[in-house]
Amino acid sequence: MLNQLHTYSLTYLFTYSEGECWIQVGETKHYWKNGKSCIFDTSILHSTENLSTRTRYVLLIRFWHPQLSATEIEAFKFIFDYLDYASQGEEALEKFEYIHLLMGKDKAPPLINKPSK
């Protein structure tokens, strides 16, 4: 599916100062506005910055392009799961690879950061 949006994100930002937080998608920069949301294509390079001294809270919802096939959605889910595990460190990533690649995805536990006993 070349030249089509693959996934979108609906982002809603809570408790911030207008004009001090922004998101850049491609070459376009948008400043957050109180009470407004933002939808953007996650396949385009994007970044954010909070220039205020306040903590920024973001509700991020991912949804799929309606023309993606079930196989394409499963492939994207695998990629996003991999990135989630990778963000938890090397041990979590090794666990993901072992479970998903050697045992099959159905046996994979959810990603939860639990302290060791």
Please state the domain extents for the chain: 7-64, 70-105
Beta strands in 26-106 (DSSP E): 28-31, 37-41, 46-50, 57-64
Per-residue pLDDT of the chain (117 residues; tens, 9 = 90+): 334 445 555 555 555 667 888 889 999 998 888 777 788 887 788 888 888 888 777 777 778 888 888 898 888 888 888 888 888 889 988 888 888 777 665 555 555 554 444
Q: Give me the residue label for tokens 């046996």.
A: 107
User: According to the model, what pLDDT value does residue 115 have?
Assistant: 41
| Rounded (5°) CA angle 72-69-43 | 50
